[in-house]
């Protein structure tokens, strides 16, 4: 959520800030702004897109120091006044902020009692006034920021500049990501490496409670108690080309189309053809420790949670270990019993999802063994966990997750294979799963080739006000993910139910205006699923079936037939046509596909 960009160096900051903010548009926002320092602070901010901001930034908006921001509203409606950056009353200090200051009301009341007039409804403006006061009392901006943050309760990623110190930026992190970029006689900071890769691939990730001072010739980091900290730069694997649409109309279509390649990267070097096992050295567990776990608990949010449900099925079927998935946002609040015999798995594409990160930290405090499945190297969750699996799917720009979802599902297949072969999965079954994983990229190509047909079906169904998605056992999390995709990018109401639960209430909704998307794999539950289709059709409901073959009777109005793999891996393939269905429905309805309303890519607030 939100985006931060900062620059200090010999170049004009404004074009760098605007370009960086454009790279961060996928994170979700409602307003944007920039401020540069040049004989005082020059500020421009607007409600709207970065393109709207660029129109109000004059050509002579000069200055080699600046900060920029894209805001996703938490305190106050989207407006020019509530947009960041925020200035202190004397226009000396400028601040941009991601996160939520929980005691902002209390701090604001004290400042107002002292005569401070606020120009916005935001919690962030409180920081600008407090830092300005501290700057009057301290010799350095870093000390002013450090002392101010001692009075703050909540989460933040901030960047601060001082008109009286035009050669430095101070950044700080607590629960909301900040990445420092190291250039040649210039320095950058951002909330996401996407804003930096055009200029540098050498980065440093701040830890919670850590601050940094950036100057053109270098940087230093320190903890909230003023103790200096040592940081080693990492080299980012992604470059600016990864953030281009590559000739596709939308990032989402590009990322759907990349899945054969991204899935191959997730599996690369991890499949052992000799022993029919998955090599996952990043787990940091030997065979004896791996065998000791008696249960697997998976936590994630949104699509990550649904991929966790697929993962739980895979682990139970292949490794015969009880497994289940739960939303991290619920898990962290219910005082969970943390069992030393349980392996906990945290999933987050960005590695910065706040609810998931907080759940990981709670598990670690209680002695739980936690591994992560993340896409972003060096992210907060990747640093917190005891080990894990990197997806290597490349950056995912569109808000709706597609390639990260399927790569996560493949990572779970690898984990299930790894756990299974240490336990009771036979070499023959191991070979079967390995061969099935090898077939997945080619089979996804076959499904993508049906894009034109699925686009026509999407147009046919997009005008309905609501849709039902149903599936049994392996098909249920696929149905949940399909419904999620449709509603988040097309704004068509959709809900998912276990197919067997329709007759226990939701069947009352079925009729000509409520089509059903039915996930019907060719497995041991095929006949049960076909019976459900008959129940829907008997009540005048329209059915779009996604499965491995045409039904024998007239049980579906339309059918999308996909290639068949091993039954444990079929859910991964069944997801692909639902991604395309949601995409083409959103296009048909004229939606902003990559930046759906009210949503953000990386959810770093509660």
* CB neighbours of residue 230 within 10 Å: 6
Q: Which residue out of 2, 45, 297, 301 is catalytically annotated?
A: 2
Q: Which residue out of 42, 564, 595, 601 is catalytically annotated?
A: 601
Pair 206, 178: CB distance under 8 Å: yes
Distance CA 336, CA 392 (A): 31
Pair 154, 105: CB distance under 8 Å: no
Which residue is associated with the tokens 């249920």?
Answer: 476
What sign does the dihedral 577-578-581-587 (CA atoms) show?
Answer: negative
| Closest by Cα among 198, 178, 172, 162 to 16 | 198
Residue 2 a catalytic site member = yes
Which residue is associated with the tokens 């054969």?
Answer: 260
Contacts of residue 527, defined as CB under 8 A and 6 or more positions apart, other chains included, come to none
**CA-based angle 547:549:552, to the nearest 5?**
115
Q: Residue 565: what are its φ and ψ, rounded to 5°?
A: -120, -160
| Pairing, β 558-561 against β 543-547 | parallel
> HEC profile for 51-78?
HHHHHHCCCCCCCCEEEEEEECCCCCCC
In the chain, what is the straight-line distance between the N-terminal and C-terminal CA atoms, in Å? 11
Contacts of residue 227, defined as CB under 8 A and 6 or more positions apart, other chains included, come to none
What sign does the dihedral 401-436-299-384 (CA atoms) show?
Answer: negative
Distance CA 348, CA 455 (A): 30
Edge-first strand listing for the sheet containing 65-71: 41-47, 31-37, 65-71, 3-8, 187-190, 179-182, 202-205, 234-235
Q: For residue 154, what are its two tokens?
A: 């909540």
Residue 301 a catalytic site member = no
Which residue is associated with the tokens 């605007």?
Answer: 18
* CB neighbours of residue 142 within 10 Å: 20
| Closest by Cα among 428, 474, 457 to 570 | 474
**CA-based angle 16:18:23, to the nearest 5?**
95
Partnered with residue 560 across adjacent β-strands are 546
Pair 214, 187: CB distance under 8 Å: yes
Q: For residue 471, what are its two tokens?
A: 């599936």
Torsion of CA 591, 593, 599, 603, to 10 degrees: 180
Active-site positions? 2, 601
């Amino acid at each position: 959520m939100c985006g931060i960009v900062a620059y200090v160096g010999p170049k004009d900051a404004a074009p760098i800030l605007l370009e960086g903010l454009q790279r961060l548009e996928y994170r979700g926002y409602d307003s944007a702004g920039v401020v540069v320092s040049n004989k005082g602070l020059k500020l421009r901010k607007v409600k709207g897109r970065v393109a709207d901001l660029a129109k109000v930034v004059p050509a002579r908006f000069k200055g080699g120091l600046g900060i920029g921001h894209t805001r996703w509203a938490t305190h106050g409606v989207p407006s020019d006044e509530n947009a960041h950056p925020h200035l202190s009353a004397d226009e000396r200090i400028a601040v941009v902020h991601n996160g939520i200051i929980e005691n902002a009301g209390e701090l604001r009341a004290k400042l107002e009692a002292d005569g401070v007039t606020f120009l916005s409804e935001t919690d962030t403006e409180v920081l600008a006034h407090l830092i300005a006061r501290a700057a009057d009392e301290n010799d350095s901006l870093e000390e002013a920021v450090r002392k101010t943050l001692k009075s703050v309760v909540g989460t933040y990623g901030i960047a601060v500049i001082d008109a009286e110190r035009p050669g430095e930026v101070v950044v700080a992190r607590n629960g909301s990501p900040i990445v420092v970029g190291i250039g040649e006689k210039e320095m950058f900071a951002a909330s996401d490496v996407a804003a930096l890769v055009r200029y540098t691939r050498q980065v440093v990730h701040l830890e919670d409670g850590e601050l940094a001072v950036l100057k053109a010739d270098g940087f230093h980091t320190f903890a909230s108690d003023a103790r200096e900290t040592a940081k080693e730069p990492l080299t980012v694997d992604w470059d600016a080309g990864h953030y281009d649409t590559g000739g596709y109309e939308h990032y989402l279509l590009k990322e759907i189309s990349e899945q054969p390649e991204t899935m191959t990267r997730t599996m690369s070097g991890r499949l052992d053809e000799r022993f029919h096992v998955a090599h996952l050295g990043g787990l940091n567990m030997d065979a004896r420790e791996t065998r000791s776990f008696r249960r697997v608990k998976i936590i994630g949010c949104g699509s990550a949670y649904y991929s966790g449900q697929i993962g739980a099925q895979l682990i139970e079927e292949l490794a015969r270990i009880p497994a289940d998935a739960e939303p991290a946002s619920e898990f962290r609040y219910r005082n969970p019993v943390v069992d030393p015999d349980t392996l906990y798995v945290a999933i987050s594409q960005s590695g910065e999802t706040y609810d998931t990160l907080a759940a990981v930290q709670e598990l670690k405090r209680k002695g739980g063994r936690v591994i992560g499945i993340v896409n972003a190297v060096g992210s907060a969750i990747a640093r917190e966990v005891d080990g894990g699996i990197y997806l290597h799917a490349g950056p995912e720009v569109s808000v709706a997750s597609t390639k990260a979802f399927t790569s996560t599902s493949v990572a779970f297949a690898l984990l299930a294979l790894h756990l299974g072969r240490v336990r009771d999965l036979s070499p023959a079954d191991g070979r079967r799963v390995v061969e099935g994983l090898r077939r997945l990229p080619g089979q996804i190509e076959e499904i993508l080739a049906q894009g034109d047909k699925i686009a026509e079906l999407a147009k046919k169904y997009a005008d309905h006000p609501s849709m039902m998605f149903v599936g049994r056992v392996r098909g249920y999390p696929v149905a949940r993910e399909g419904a999620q995709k449709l509603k988040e990018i097309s704004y068509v109401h959709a809900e998912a139910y276990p197919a067997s639960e329709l007759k226990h209430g939701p069947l009352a909704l079925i009729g000509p205006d409520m089509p059903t998307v039915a996930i019907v794999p060719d497995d041991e539950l095929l006949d049960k699923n076909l019976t459900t289709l008959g129940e829907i059709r008997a009540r005048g409901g329209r059915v779009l079936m996604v499965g491995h073959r045409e039904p024998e009777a007239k049980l579906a109005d339309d059918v999308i037939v996909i290639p068949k793999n091993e039954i444990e891996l079929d859910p991964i393939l069944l997801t692909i046509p639902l991604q395309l269905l949601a995409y083409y429905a959103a296009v048909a309805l004229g939606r902003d596909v990559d930046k759906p309303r009210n949503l953000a890519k990386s959810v770093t607030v509660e």
